[in-house]
A and B are shown apart, each in its own frame.
Chain A
Amino acid sequence: MEFRQHRLENGLQIISEINPRAYSTAIGFFVNAGARDETPEIGGVSHFLEHMVFKGTPNRTAEEVNRELDEMGSHSNARTGEERTIYHSTVLPEFQNQAVELLGDILRPSLRNDDFEMEKKVICEEIMMYDDQPPFGGNEKLMASYFGDHPLGQSILGTVETVTALTPDQMRTYFTQRYSPDNITLVATGNVDFEGLIQIAQEKCGQWAKVDSPRVITAAEPNLQQQCIEKATASQQYVLQVAPGPAAEDDDRYPARILSAIFGDDGGSRLYWEFIDSGKAEYAAMGVYEFQSAGLLMTFLCGNPESTEANFQRLSELQKNLRADGVTESELELAKAKTASHIILSSERPENRLFAVGSHWLTRQNYLTVGEVANRYNSLTIDDINTVIQKYPLQPANSLAIGPLKTMSFG
């Protein structure tokens, strides 16, 4: 494995982790654009734009874009989050430059009005689809409640109302600001021809005009409250809870992730033995989510409505016990073994490395090998974990219940 990097004059960065033994090449354009860059009036524009990027360019119709992606036998997709939008494609090495040329082309989309109105319908279908699925919009409502007016409280998809009200001009303005080349990193992993990559990126992206538009980062002031939202058609009751955690820049994220493996992963953790193994709940887990300048410890619990209050109380007890007693050596050793194995197994696919290497770079502008990442976890001590528990206790938290219950006591 070899790491290489390069920067075009207009600020676009190119990074690559090269593994000549890999069978595939994964390519991704990582754009620093996401829901946190939106104002409430244009809620959902980042995600809508992600769809519009596939709708054609001055050089290609939408049909041609789709057809060419398939002609390379590529596994291509895009995803939008709070902080970034990623366009990615995994191909056989022989198609590397063709894939970069195509993705590079669609990143300067035409954004035609007719396509905009047609795709709006698909976006509204997507919003309605998620609204019908557990936890029935609970996640968005929780984030909005926790973050209040802070931009991290923006829903990624937006609502049917905000998306319907969006105009093509609003999207074009947003595009010009956020898709400036200094907000974009081209990441490639697996069997990469790095010289070829730089050359095609220079040809395709070298002319993109830079617009000075750094992300505005403001500190979040979390709201801690409880609410129960009735969803009469649901069968199960869903409880979501969020408390402050380490931010993406914070090295506490390593012990926090080990903590989540000990306390709340979906096999062998304390929550697993308490709720899943016993059949008391359908699902119970705690995970770590990191953003620039803000982090979250998020807990999820779902099961039959009639047992929800008792389960919630038990969850609160487990959280209190964790803070009072910390974790044990044997829990730490197991969590390290799990985490190390997971890191090594998941790194076999260039596509998985793409997201790991790219996300790490976007946040920190540095690169860690798989071994270095594994070492970060392996060198943690029990004091590191217990310190992070005191620093980021799971209570007090913002809790939200959604399901058949009209009201619920949060104890």
Chain B
Amino acid sequence: MPWLESVAFAASIPGGCQVDPTNRLGLGNFTCEMVQRGCGDRTSRQFVESLERLGTDISASVSISHSNFGASMPAASIYNVLDIFKDLVRSPHMPEDQLEEGRSVCLQEVSAIEDDLSQKTLIELRRRSYPQPYGRSATGTADSIAAISAADIRQYWESFYQPQEMILSVAGKTDFKRLCDHVETIFSDWKPKSIEKVEQKPTETGHFHIDQQSNQTHIGLSYPSVPYSHPDYFRARGSVGVLSDGMSSRLFTEVREKRGLCYTVYASMHSMKERGSIIVYAGTSADRAQETLDVTVAEIQRLSRGIQQSELDRLKVSIRSSLVMQQESSRSRAASMAGDWFHLGRVRTLEELTQIINSLTVQEINHYLAEHPPQNFKLVSLGPTPLEEPSGVSTASA
């Protein structure tokens, strides 16, 4: 992307929170916190300050399947930043005298979620939408974080911070040959390790209510869909777009515009490597929550009766426009390339994506929806009173 002044990288190291031992939930996240406390010949403070001098900072987070690191920066800084990143993953200090500080940071994250009611709702919804450990939240619990020792963290780092299946994606103003040479020098002698398969446990079933004295009731609803690599993915994505992309989408029109039930209502695709869901959220005052749920579910179920050509046309323009605009951001391009590589083992160019979107037809989406009508809903509500399940939102397990 030579027209930019910036460059960005996104790095995904396999492991994530799915490999946290059940009595050490939050271990991957705690490790991710500790590796940022000094590395190579830099103390914690020198680490942050060297990045600041290079005009960047490294963001880090843990997902189900990866520890993710990323940064955007002025183009000239990339080699120095990669050197620091190399030390972060390969020779972090993880200082034991900062263990309690790191633990406090992780505990603060857990406390923060308690006050973020929509996030709390969606965390519980994901937990109930997937077999364990795939529905986990990376943050763990106060108890599980309390149980984590310095040795646990060192062991997590030794087992999972390794190059096998690690993805490093770089986008922006960069010279690919020089970049490869540089990555070769910093990572080629890093020894890969094999990662054990994750054991899968059944999904929890049933509608779940979290009692909370709040103005609004938060509604989280999910139903099974396909992952990003599935041939039907863009058909499912098309149906979600009709439901929720833009101000003329069905949910926005029916729930917010026509009935004034909500300020926030949306649906989105949630994709892991081998499984995916559609996640729906609405927040509304407690006395109108039941109506909101009923209208929302009715709109989702109406999808199986098909979508219109005009709805798909709008969606195509919108996605095409987003793809073109992605060329203005090295950071978002780097992140989506890393995602492609993980899900597909290759990167789809913007041209290829545009081609896929342009070739979608109403017939194929409607055929898909008729064959796979939204069903097997999971419902989580949070608020002062529980909701009744509309028909179709049964306790049936997926």
Contact = CB atoms under 8 A, between A and B. Distances in A.
Interface of A: 21-24, 54, 62-63, 65-67, 69-76, 90-92, 118-122, 124-126, 128-129, 131-134, 233-236, 267-268, 273, 276-283, 303-304, 333-334, 337-338, 340-342, 344-345, 348-350
Interface in B91-121: 100-109, 111-112, 114-117
A134 B115 contact: yes
B214 A348 contact: no
A71 B314 contact: yes
Contacts of A69: 246-248
A344 B104 CA distance: 35
Contacts of B252: 66
Contacts of B253: 63, 66
Nearest to B1: A348
Contact of B212 (A128, A233, A283, A348): A233
A91 B53 CA distance: 35
Contact of B111 (A235, A334, A350): A235
A282 B111 contact: yes
A63 to B, nearest CB: 7
B214 A233 contact: yes
Nearest to B320: A73
B260 interface: yes
B261 interface: yes
A249 to B, nearest CB: 29
Nearest to B8: A345
Given A71-B317, A235-B115, A348-B4, 18 more contacts: A62-B257, A63-B248, A66-B247, A66-B248, A70-B249, A73-B319, A75-B325, A122-B263, A125-B260, A129-B283, A134-B116, A267-B57, A279-B107, A334-B53, A338-B55, A345-B55, A345-B72, A348-B5
Contacts of B322: 73, 75
Given A22-B328, A282-B111, A276 B214 contact: no
B317 A128 contact: no
B214 A72 contact: no
Give the top 6 A-B pairs by smallest Cβ distance, nearest first: A279-B104, A341-B55, A73-B321, A121-B260, A235-B114, A73-B317
Interface stretch (B41-49, B129-137, B194-202, B299-307): B41-49
B260 A119 contact: yes
A382 to B, nearest CB: 17
B9 to A, nearest CB: 14
A377 to B, nearest CB: 13
B74 A125 contact: no
A137 to B, nearest CB: 11
B314 to A, nearest CB: 4
A121 B44 CA distance: 50
Interface of B: 3-6, 44-45, 48-49, 52-57, 72-74, 100-109, 111-112, 114-117, 212-216, 245-249, 252-253, 256-264, 283-285, 313-314, 317-322, 324-325, 327-330
Residue from B216, B252, B329 with most neighbouring chain A CB atoms (10 Å): B216
B216 A128 contact: yes
A67 B245 CA distance: 11
B111 A304 contact: yes
Contacts of A21: 3
Contacts of A234: 115
Which residue, A22, A126, A279, A338, has most C-beta atoms of chain B within 10 A? A279
A192 to B, nearest CB: 15
Contacts of A62: 257
Nearest to A54: B247
Nearest to B172: A348
A128 B55 contact: no
Nearest to A95: B321
Contact of A273 (B45, B104, B111, B256): B45
Nearest to B264: A129
A139 to B, nearest CB: 15
A119 B256 CA distance: 9
A344 B5 CA distance: 8
Contacts of B74: 341, 344-345
A63 B44 CA distance: 54
Contacts of A92: 321, 324
B48 A268 contact: yes
A308 to B, nearest CB: 12
A94 to B, nearest CB: 10
B57 A125 contact: no
Contacts of A24: 321, 324-325, 328
B325 A23 contact: yes
A66 B310 CA distance: 13
A221 B145 CA distance: 48
Contacts of A118: 258-260
A267 B57 CA distance: 8
A124 B288 CA distance: 12
A70 B314 CA distance: 6
A267 B44 CA distance: 12
A23 B324 contact: yes
Contacts of A121: 260-261
A232 B234 CA distance: 46
B52 A338 contact: yes
Contact of B55 (A279, A281, A303, A340): A340
Contacts of A267: 48, 52, 57
A61 to B, nearest CB: 11
Given A126-B263, A235-B114, A273-B45, A341 B56 contact: yes
A350 B44 CA distance: 36
A242 B327 CA distance: 40
Contacts of A132: 117, 214-216
Contact of B49 (A91, A129, A268, A344): A268
B111 A277 contact: no
A388 B231 CA distance: 60
B81 to A, nearest CB: 11
Nearest to B4: A348
A241 to B, nearest CB: 19
Nearest to B285: A128
A267 B323 CA distance: 31
A23 B327 contact: yes
B337 to A, nearest CB: 18
Contacts of A72: 317, 321
A342 B214 CA distance: 38
Contacts of A277: 44, 101, 105
A67 B101 contact: no
Nearest to A282: B108
Contact of B263 (A125, A134, A276, A340): A125
A277 B153 CA distance: 18
A276 to B, nearest CB: 7
A236 B107 CA distance: 12
B114 A236 contact: yes
B378 to A, nearest CB: 23
Given A23-B324, A334-B53, A338-B55, A282 B112 contact: yes
